[in-house]
Structures are given as C-alpha cells and as structure tokens.
Amino acid sequence: MGMEDFMTSGKSRLDQQLKFSAEIDKMTGILRRTLLVDHSRRENDAEHSWHIAVMAMLFEEYAKEPVNVSRVAEMCVVHDLVEIYAGDTFAYDVSGNQDKAEREAAAADKLFSQLPEEQGRRIRELWEEFDAMETADAKYAACMDRLQPFLHNTLTQGHTWVEGGTARAAVEKRMSLIKEFMPEVYGWISDNLDRAVENGWLKP
C-alpha cells in the first residue's frame, strides 16, 4: 500500500501535483521536541506548521511593521517541508545546527523539483525568504515559529528546555527576534523566562 497504488491521471502536471501532495504527508511522521499542551506526545511538523499559520492570523497587531498575513501563512505551512528529508533539528542543538543549512538545501533540491517548475520555484522562494528573515513577512513568520514552542514550554514545565539542559541565555538569543519585531509580546516572554529559571526549567 502507498504510492505504488497511485493511479495516473494521464496528465503529467496533475500527476506531479498529486504525488507531491501525497509526499508531504510524510511531515506527519517528523517528530519535533515540542510536547503537546496535554503532555500526551511530541508534536509533528505538520501540526507545528498548521499551528503557527493560525497564530499568524492572531498576532498581526503586535508586529512593528506592516505584514501580509496571507503570505506569512503560506511561509508558515511550507517552512518545514524540507524536514521530510533533512529531519528536524532542535533549535538549541549546537552540533546539529552546524550542517543544517547544507542538509536542508539538498532536501529542497530533492523535494521542490517534484513539482511543476513554476510551483516548485514559488514554494522554494517562500522557504528561502522565511529562512533569510530579512523581509517583514519573514520576520513575522519566524516570530510565530519561535513563539509557538515557547508557549508550549511554559505549559509543559519547560519540557524541551529541561530535556536539553537549556540555559536562559540561549532562549533569550532565540527570542531576540520577537524582542525586536514584537516588543509588546516580549514582555510576556521575559516574565516567563524569570519563572522558568525560578522553577528550574532553564539554567540561569
């Protein structure tokens, strides 16, 4: 069972689109470190991408610059597609992040080439824009990508922080984009960092 059961439409372009749609189902099998709020299990990439796309609809008012929420949502749902082949790299894994760019670029080549050329190029451009974090849309999307797991940690006794032996300074560094681009939200983050250190979820 699986892709060997795919029945061609007789149209090359449509077949590419259908097969790509099936291929990205693999995101549901890529587990992240983040624990679900109910503590039942780790979330997968597809859940994370959906979650931050919805969050992008909610927090626009706190962005320092105007953003196009529709484009941001598109970035959110495609930003981790390459992890189908490259795997998830924990944000605070120093060694794992050393070759992350190379692994993900190779994964992008493999994945986006499966689509019709102009569609593959468009999704890759969204992915690259997100990764570069230079435009207002990309910064806002990246803020959502950082805010969501932070929120989960505050509701799961700092699960991933404790598991990784994470220090406050490392989290502050990752949250610095939110401090810059969404300063009103950062006040809440700062208060939660204090609480996390007090509770032993983060190293001081």
Cα dihedral across residues 197, 37, 145, 67: positive or negative: negative
Q: What angle do CA 14, 19, 21 make, to 5 degrees?
A: 95
For residue 97, is pLDDT > 80? no
Contact indicator for 42, 90 with CB cutoff of 8 Å:
no
Q: What angle do CA 136, 139, 143 make, to 5 degrees?
A: 140
Beta-ladder partners of 31: 44
Beta-ladder partners of 42: 35
- Over the stretch 160-193, which tens digit does the pLDDT of each residue have? 999 999 999 999 999 999 999 999 999 999 999 9
Beta-ladder partners of 201: none
pTM: 0.94
**Mean pLDDT of all residues belonging to the chain:** 95
Distance CA 60, CA 34 (A): 24
For residue 96, is pLDDT > 70? no
